[in-house]
Structure 1
Amino acid sequence: MREITYAQAINEAMSQEMRNNPDVFLMGEDVGLYGGAFGVSVGMFDEFGADRVRDTPISEAAIAGCATGAAATGMRPIAEMMFSDFMTIAMDQIVNQAAKMRYMFGGKAKVPMVVRMPEGSGTGAAGQHSQSLEAWMCHVPGLKVVAPSTPADAKGLLTAAIRDDNPVMFFEQKLLYRVKGDVPEGEYVIPLGKSHIVQEGKDLTIVTYGRMLQVVQQAAEAVAKDGISVEIIDPRTLYPMDTETIVNSVIKTSRAMIVHEAAVTGGLGGEIAAKLAGSEAFYYLDAPITRVCGLDVPVPYCPELEKNIVPTVDKVTKAIYEIMR
């Protein structure tokens, strides 16, 4: 198995699916000649040409609307939003059209589209280009929501998303693009809706995804020297989420923590905590369910402030010691 970056893994998934299926195409701002704002589609224009790697006007509403129409009429578009923040401009097309169409036509219409969105803080892009809005999309019936944490997951989950007959919102944390990892060559598919036990442990279950997986892994390594064994669960698919794996883990460890970069209020951590509280795992808890999440503030431009509004290794480590008391 070779080692490639998260960005290269996404490129590979798109390219392989485009070679396998002529109905698959990529569209978005600067995805063609320029290779994408973050270089994810570099080389694809040369291979597939302007008909299948389409540079669009600077209009997210148009991008989402075209993708919805193309998907409903038999194509499988991959639509890139330059930043996930800009999906707010396309909410009518995504929420009122793409998400509802299959249901409102009694299953006769399919909307096999993927909306790829770089999200999250850490690049100094300030409040309008650094948000984590995945929980918003999880609130919309009809959408599937995916957030890969590693290069291998990025390839496997994107392949599954492209093949899915429903609209999939695919969130890519920007700081992960240059992260390298082992990725299988050739066709590689990770089914949507299945959580991944990243690390087994016996004292505490931490549920996390995206860039925060790296943070949690470092914190788990830090507390291991004191004999604390952390089990790490990555949902990978945020909706529909495989909660059974999470519940079974908490039954085993008797403690639960949720870590995500998005703002704490209304974040996915609250939903996961509610599902645990309403499950068999509740009767096994030896401590309250804990959340370590982003602060309820716009993402600051100042680098030091930006670093401190999201979970850090120190914050997660401190929370682990507190829940283990």
Structure 2
Amino acid sequence: MPKGICADKPGGIEVLDWREIDSPELGPNDVLIHQTKIGLNFIDVYMTSGIYPFPESGPQIPGGEAAGIVAEVGANVEYLQIGDRVAYTTANGAFREERVLPAEKLVKLPDNVSDEVAAASMLKGMTVEYLLNRSFKVQKSHTVLFHAAAGGVGLIAGQWLKHIGAESIGTVGSDDKIDLAKKVGYTHVINYNKSNFVEEVRRITNGIGVDVAYDSVGQATYPSTLSCLKKFGLFVSFGQSSGIIKNIAMADLQKNGSLYAQRPTLFDFIPDPESLREVSSNMFKMLSDGHINMHINQRYPLKDVPKAFEALVARKTTGATVFDVGRS
């Protein structure tokens, strides 16, 4: 019987259990995937901490991006065949050896994109795609602030922004992450634990501010990030690694220059197979053309999810973390 990482109640790493789990019965529109590689994201920690609701029955299984091989297809499935290499992103449920999903949730992998790269990029890479192309269409003339520049999403964003030609300002939490963020393409990098990032952004932009600020940190950087924006700028809050923003007020937007604010989620940009393929194809093309490279700096066996959670929460990771299921 296949195994997975399960949590029967909310909590920290102590609630994570590596155990045998049943796979759902294959429906006519479903595919059984023998998973090979699985990515790690901060939202996986939220899924088992209790920030998000648990299933009404059965355990919470975290994990939002993975790649693998089609092992069985339902009677109505035409798009995929046994042996195809596929990848996906979902809200949760990926930390398992086998998975049944609707075929429409899967994308075929290009030959030049490995399972490991796909598992590290489905959620993170498509997040960057929508942030820079859809939440706000970043162009060469724009100046952009991106928090957590040395994280999994941040490193992809730095490369993508360099390709666009925009001026980019990244923030990191330690000096050893500055070089990493600069190497991927950020024009400027600020250690927010040593410098006041608002003052630095105003200095870099000659007091004007940035066109758009992307923030996945949350409570620790709010409302300071608003002071980095130019008049009528856009604040995009797409995560909360330091905690959910609790003190947000509409008046904050007014007093910082009639700002706009958005709280997007990837799944609103990929609601159907056509949009999923469009966004993933754009991301895969950036990978295939060499404009972005995945920095997979941590690797673990799937059973070691608790160790990976510890490192992530302690901010001891850079770039992407990938779990090996034990198949190739």
Q: Considering the TM-score relative to the shorter chain, is it more than 0.5? A: no
Q: Say which structure is richer in strand.
A: 2
Q: Say which structure is richer in helix.
A: 1
- TM-score normalized by the length of structure 1: 0.30
- TM-score normalized by the length of structure 2: 0.30
